[in-house]
Structure 1
């Protein structure tokens, strides 16, 4: 069950100076860790991304913009030269140099890193001078620039001083100095961290960049209860909610002093299934694995009434799709790849009978209860739909802090996952999600252990193809093959409403990223 907060407790947790330049905000869960390489999870990345910067980042419309790198150029098919921004300092006052980039690439490749697949794609960096690097790649990387946006830069000296030279092993429940402390070059500095209670930041007065907003302090408080989050916003106890639940959005639109900011998110939600084990860890069938049979996977897909989910559960705040990429752009807007299999319960029952499961089976569906919009409710709805196939699904819902380590240990038979972010290219879906698990982080988020030789061949080829037209064909073929084999069950892309007090101005980005340096809190409208 979701943890609920009494309003009195909430007020204490949010206690901070009522400054017009303080943003008090909330969502249903908390960041996993302050270590920027340990967990590749959206809220974690978003909070750490205010402290730790990347070489290249995203602008308001997701365009590439220079950050710690000022110039980058491909000087050979497998070599890139990057010029670094001068006169940048970490929060502890130490200078930023090429040595910190090299260290960060190496650190992000460690076995405990959750972004190893992206670090590996950058090849081997070497210093030309203190502010110039060259990256030598093992093969052509057609999305090298986009991979540069995924690597937070840490101070080598700070990490060595605090014995934090490797990422915290989050799935192993380890703790380290970087779990609760941070030292980046970004616009905000970490002041205090109380996991699952409150995290406080202050403006970095020595930031090299230019603030568009006026924030001096940011206070984040996770509030698990949907009702309590909404009540706190309406009462003015908090200024912004990242994830108002769909059923509360109409009420918030009509609440004086509150506004709703809408926008689609580059994120696909889908169901993954264990297709590697000969017998499911959490299933009733003995001696075989029903998810290895494409007829079973197709039956489960066709038993999903996605329009009912959209209208009744999501209140219209979802975009159903048959695609598996976070954005249709990843499939080159190909309508055939985006097309869903039809909802057809009779066909689904026939497929189950043909596969030898006319009487169904039992299985456990692992699900977060504080990560995606209506995530636990979505799993419960799917379980009810699959019950019509006599498939008895036990929904095992849990907080994200328990959910992701469980999946990373491959301790699952069936799971709900969302995947997305600022990169719309299919590469960041094909390599970590769809390809077989392998070295360098390949398949690191393939928690169902899917192994498909043809998909692997096409996806790997697309990762190194320099010719755009040839690469497009490879990507299309890989995605079509994935869909034909029903290797995952696609659901929908989220439409993300944000909600804030009327005096708060934010920029809604399609990757659901709240950039604090762009936020203004108007004192005239403050309660």
Structure 2
């Protein structure tokens, strides 16, 4: 893996200033893979389902972990962490939230057949202490446990059992079930209707335990695959917000009356991975030249990252030397330095780290 070759692209989001204060008409380049929060690791799908479902802990606006469905946690020993659950929470179907829901949800996500199991490594079991207390049993010390849990959403056990959906499904393999097009969470919005590849409608959950940070009562999400059509829908006022904003249209959109483009640094790094195996998957040479440090150094210096940033990304990215974005815990300024593009001078004189 060539850690130095990567870019962190900004997220371009567009909001029409004349939008209704209650209904948000939202368009994206594609639909979600479904509404089952354990059926895929796709980032966009998980972001969308987070409107409906909630984890034990979540990130705040500053990327710090804070309580959500759990109010506190305690390390009992290196392989046992106890979570106290929030009292008075109900699912959108009216069911009471409790320890059995956490147990079935976390074990469903960690099941060997679940595509999400890699997002919760080391979980062996969930033991119920009482109705509002659970112990997570781990294979060993897991300092990033709460970070993992921010992406593991809790479902209602009884609802899953009623609809024969306790077993996980894998959306990447084309599997579907009742949970694909139906939902029952504890989050700020509830599913009103879903028409795959056409329209997803969410309505505000008036019984949500937390305080809303918005004035919305309804979200209408429309997948629009064509960049041109999506932009036209925004500029005509048919849509209030689109994501992503096509890079080639960003300046034109930003200069349009009644439209404002919001930009912020993203957390995703675009990178090139290197095959370090004994042979190339496709190739007509013996062995694997990429195992030679000098070859990797030559590739590093021969790629003009500034040109990629300026031409391909149209200035909407940042050249970085680190896989970790500045907002993520563990980021280091010292690791974010990248050596300059220089295809002429031998890399040995540059002091490149191995």
SS at match of 1:47: helix
Q: 1:287–1:161: structure 2 CA closer, same or farther, 3 Å change rule? A: farther
Greater strand percent: which structure? 2
Q: TM-score if structure 1 supplies the norm length?
A: 0.59
Q: 1:112–1:293: structure 2 CA closer, same or farther, 3 Å change rule? A: farther
SS at match of 2:51: coil
1:270 aligned onto 2:268: no
With a CA cutoff of 8 Å and minimum separation of 6, indicate the structure with the bigger relative contact order. 2
Q: 1:229–1:184: structure 2 CA closer, same or farther, 3 Å change rule? A: same
Offset of residue 101 of structure 1: 0.7
Does the 8 Å CA contact 1:71/1:83 hold for their aligned counterparts? yes
Name the structure 2 match of 1:345: 343
Name the structure 2 match of 1:104: 105
Q: Distance in 1 between matches of 2:289 and 2:40?
A: 31
Offset of residue 277 of structure 1: 6.7
Offset of residue 323 of structure 1: 1.3
Q: 1:262–1:484: structure 2 CA closer, same or farther, 3 Å change rule? A: same
Name the structure 1 match of 2:14: none
Offset of residue 200 of structure 1: 1.4
Offset of residue 158 of structure 1: 1.6
SS at match of 1:214: coil
Offset of residue 198 of structure 1: 1.8
Name the structure 1 match of 2:302: 303
Q: Distance in 1 between matches of 2:44 and 2:185?
A: 17
Q: 1:64–1:307: structure 2 CA closer, same or farther, 3 Å change rule? A: same
Does the 8 Å CA contact 1:51/1:190 hold for their aligned counterparts? yes
Superposed, 1:480-495 pairs within 5 Å as 484-485=353-354
1:312 aligned onto 2:311: yes
Q: Distance in 2 between matches of 1:212 and 1:119?
A: 29
| RMSD (Å) for aligned C-alpha atoms | 2.5
Q: Distance in 2 between matches of 1:293 and 1:185?
A: 53
Q: Distance in 2 between matches of 1:19 and 1:256?
A: 17
Offset of residue 73 of structure 1: 2.2
Instruction: Give structure 2 stretches of 5+ with no counterpart.
Output: 1-18
Q: Distance in 1 between matches of 2:79 and 2:251?
A: 52
Offset of residue 138 of structure 1: 2.5
Offset of residue 289 of structure 1: 4.0
SS at match of 1:266: coil
Q: TM-score if structure 2 supplies the norm length?
A: 0.85
Does the 8 Å CA contact 1:55/1:149 hold for their aligned counterparts? yes
Offset of residue 229 of structure 1: 1.8
Q: 1:258–1:484: structure 2 CA closer, same or farther, 3 Å change rule? A: same
Does the 8 Å CA contact 1:109/1:116 hold for their aligned counterparts? yes
Offset of residue 117 of structure 1: 2.6
Instruction: Give structure 1 stretches of 5+ with no counterpart.
Output: 1-17, 352-482, 486-527
Name the structure 1 match of 2:62: 61
SS at match of 1:189: strand
Name the structure 1 match of 2:181: 180
Name the structure 2 match of 1:222: 223
1:279-321 deviation per Cα after TM superposition (whole angstroms, max 9, x unaligned): 41xx242654444444444333322211011112222211101
Does the 8 Å CA contact 1:268/1:327 hold for their aligned counterparts? no
Q: Distance in 2 between matches of 1:298 and 1:27?
A: 39
Q: Distance in 2 between matches of 1:258 and 1:22?
A: 17
Superposed, 1:156-195 pairs within 5 Å as 156-195=157-196
Offset of residue 114 of structure 1: 2.8
Does the 8 Å CA contact 1:51/1:184 hold for their aligned counterparts? yes
Name the structure 2 match of 1:52: 53
Superposed, 1:353-372 pairs within 5 Å as none
Does the 8 Å CA contact 1:36/1:152 hold for their aligned counterparts? yes
SS at match of 1:111: coil
- Between the two proteins, the alignment pairs up a number of residues equal to 333
1:144 aligned onto 2:137: no
Offset of residue 332 of structure 1: 4.0
Does the 8 Å CA contact 2:75/2:82 hold for their aligned counterparts? yes
Q: Distance in 2 between matches of 1:174 and 1:347?
A: 53
SS at match of 2:249: helix
1:134-185 deviation per Cα after TM superposition (whole angstroms, max 9, x unaligned): 2233222222222221211111222222222232222322222222221111
Q: Distance in 1 between matches of 2:259 and 2:20?
A: 18
Q: Distance in 2 between matches of 1:339 and 1:267?
A: 17
Name the structure 2 match of 1:241: 242
SS at match of 2:180: helix
Greater helix percent: which structure? 1
Q: 1:199–1:294: structure 2 CA closer, same or farther, 3 Å change rule? A: farther
Name the structure 2 match of 1:80: 81
SS at match of 1:270: strand
